[in-house]
């Protein structure tokens, strides 16, 4: 006798992707959160069960899903946040929750979701850029997202990491605090320093709530999250750090690790004091800082720059949704006056020639019929936008076409920025 699937199984596993895909997408309701996350779990091939934090920041009206019968087969979403860009803070469409069920892959579903999502952001008219973390580096370039910020995973042996004698740790003090005291001091401090560093994101209360959740089952043998504040003698808060510890013992004795999750400081003395505290804890032998900036100053504060090793990972991929507004919003460390010819098949409203004028205190970007100085794709423009991916390097990689001699050199300087990106959280 043959074994047959029931009609119900066949029905629920069918793989047809409908025509007119974009119009078949619709936002999830708040009640459909669990169905969306079931699809996400299936898409990622892992059980995504700790979703309390995701629930806190879910914006159902900014999601898009696809249903096949009553089964969710694709998800995507946007968080409404702000991001620091060179010299300014702008609203950001933070793209998230992207998955397509294995049964519906490679039939254009993601392409349809990305297209509709970007069009809706453009029509909304408030967010000049979108950004995302990519599960795989080859997915999003075709949609105009370029690699714009980085994480530097720092590692080292704490006993070899000594601060240089010319690094002044100041007169402030480091205070281990509980979550309540941390929140009341660190949240306003974060908002004070956020505009100084490209890549940092706004964190409304629900984001802090989500970020500071610390379920035991996600700790993997590490301690609960610990909180440090740095303050001047008059009580002014000038830094904070979040870290965990992992206790371990080797034949030779203690072998613990300090895992630094995030560190912010207003000035060198606060940074030095926080690092001194973190690197000199009893029973700790190893440092791991997986979400540091790739240009973290720590290496240069040590007597032995080799004591800290770094492997670089990618962080935010940026997409200019509105080229004119996005380039006018940022600032440029040197004056720039160039015509850019942008190729943008996925968001054709951006394609064509733009005259960019800018300097340290202004940016202006308008349509022009003039002859271009440089030509590049939207993906390349997204990559250089935060000032951390060098336009010159992309030109060397064949991704920028120099039409006017000298334009690459001028634009490389102007699109750079003195502060490297810092992206210590995923979404």
Ligand X SMILES: CC(C)(COP(=O)(O)OP(=O)(O)OC[C@H]1O[C@@H](n2cnc3c(N)ncnc32)[C@H](O)[C@@H]1OP(=O)(O)O)[C@@H](O)C(=O)NCCC(=O)NCCS
In the complex, least distance from residue 219 CB atom to ligand X, rounded to whole angstroms: 24
Dig out the tokens for 209 from the structure. 């709530």
Q: Which long-range contacts (CB under 8 A, 24 or more apart) does 211-220 make?
A: 211/53, 211/425, 212/179, 212/183, 213/52, 213/53, 215/50, 215/52, 217/50, 218/50, 219/244
Backbone angles phi, psi at 124, to 5 degrees: -60, -40
List the one residue out of 285, 290, 287, 257 whose CA is nearest residue 275.
Answer: 287
Contact 225, 208 (CB under 8 A): no
> Which is closer to ligand X, CB of 105 or CB of 245?
105
List the one residue out of 133, 124, 265, 267 whose CA is nearest residue 199.
Answer: 133
Contact 228, 237 (CB under 8 A): no
Looking from the CA of 364 toward its CB, the CA atoms found within 13 Å total 7
Catalytic (active site) residue 427 = yes
Catalytic (active site) residue 385 = no
Secondary structure string (H, E, C) spanning 126-157: CCCEEEEECCCCCCCHHHCCEECCEEEEEEEE
In the complex, least distance from residue 191 CB atom to ligand X, rounded to whole angstroms: 28
**Cα 325 to Cα 357: distance, rounded to the nearest angstrom:** 13
Q: Of 140, 182, 243, 385, which is the active-site residue?
A: 140
Q: Which parts of 45-195 fold into alpha helices (H)?
A: 52-57, 109-124, 179-193
In the complex, least distance from residue 99 CB atom to ligand X, rounded to whole angstroms: 4
Q: How many residues does the chain have?
A: 427
In the complex, least distance from residue 412 CB atom to ligand X, rounded to whole angstroms: 29
List the one residue out of 88, 47, 37 whose CA is nearest residue 387.
Answer: 88
Q: Of 28, 150, 182, 427, which is the active-site residue?
A: 427
In the complex, least distance from residue 411 CB atom to ligand X, rounded to whole angstroms: 29
In the complex, least distance from residue 73 CB atom to ligand X, rounded to whole angstroms: 9
Which residues, at least 6 apart from 405, have a Cβ–Cβ distance to it below 8 Å? none
**Cα 83 to Cα 69: distance, rounded to the nearest angstrom:** 38
In the complex, least distance from residue 55 CB atom to ligand X, rounded to whole angstroms: 19
Q: How many CB atoms lie within 10 A of CB 165?
A: 7
Q: Which parts of this chain interact with ligand X (CB under 6 A)?
A: 43-44, 98-100, 105-111, 134-136, 138-139, 142
Catalytic residue numbers? 140, 427
């Amino acid at each position: 006798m043959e074994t047959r699937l029931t009609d119900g199984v066949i029905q629920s596993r069918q793989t047809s992707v409908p025509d007119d895909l974009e119009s078949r997408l619709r936002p999830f309701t708040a009640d459909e959160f669990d169905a969306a996350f079931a699809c996400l779990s299936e898409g990622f091939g892992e059980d995504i069960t700790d979703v309390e934090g995701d629930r806190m920041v879910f914006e159902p009206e900014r999601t898009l899903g696809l249903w096949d019968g009553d089964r969710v087969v694709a998800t995507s979403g946007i968080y409404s946040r702000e991001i620091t860009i060179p010299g300014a803070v702008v609203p950001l469409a933070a793209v998230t929750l992207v998955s397509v069920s294995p049964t519906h892959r490679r039939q254009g579903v993601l392409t349809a979701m990305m297209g509709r999502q970007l069009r809706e952001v453009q029509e909304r008219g408030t967010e000049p850029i979108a950004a995302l973390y990519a599960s795989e580096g080859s997915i999003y370039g075709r949609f105009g997202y370029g690699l714009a910020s980085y994480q530097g995973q720092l590692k080292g042996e704490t006993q070899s990491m000594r601060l240089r004698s010319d690094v002044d740790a100041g007169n402030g003090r480091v205070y281990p605090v509980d979550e309540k005291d941390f929140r009341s001091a660190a949240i306003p401090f974060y908002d004070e320093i956020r505009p100084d560093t490209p890549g940092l994101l706004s964190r409304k209360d629900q984001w802090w709530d989500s970020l500071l959740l610390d379920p035991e089952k996600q700790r993997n043998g590490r301690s609960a999250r610990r909180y440090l504040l740095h303050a001047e003698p008059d009580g002014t808060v000038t830094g904070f750090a979040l870290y965990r510890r992992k206790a371990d013992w080797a034949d030779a004795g203690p072998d613990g690790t300090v895992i630094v999750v995030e560190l912010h400081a207003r000035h060198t003395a606060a940074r030095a004091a926080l690092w001194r505290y973190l690197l000199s804890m009893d029973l700790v032998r190893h440092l791991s800082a997986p979400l540091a900036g790739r240009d973290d100053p720590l290496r240069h504060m040590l007597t032995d720059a080799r004591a800290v090793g770094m492997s670089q990972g990618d962080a935010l991929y940026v997409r200019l949704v509105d080229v004119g507004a996005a380039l006018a919003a940022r600032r440029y460390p040197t004056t720039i006056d160039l015509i850019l010819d942008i190729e943008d098949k996925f968001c054709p409203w951006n394609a064509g020639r733009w005259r960019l004028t800018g300097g340290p205190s202004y940016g202006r970007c308008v349509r022009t019929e003039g002859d271009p100085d440089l030509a590049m794709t939207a993906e390349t423009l997204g990559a250089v936008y935060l000032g951390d991916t060098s336009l010159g390097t992309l030109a060397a990689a064949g991704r920028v076409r120099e039409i006017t001699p000298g334009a690459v050199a001028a634009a490389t300087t102007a699109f750079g920025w003195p502060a490297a990106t810092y992206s210590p959280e995923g979404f």
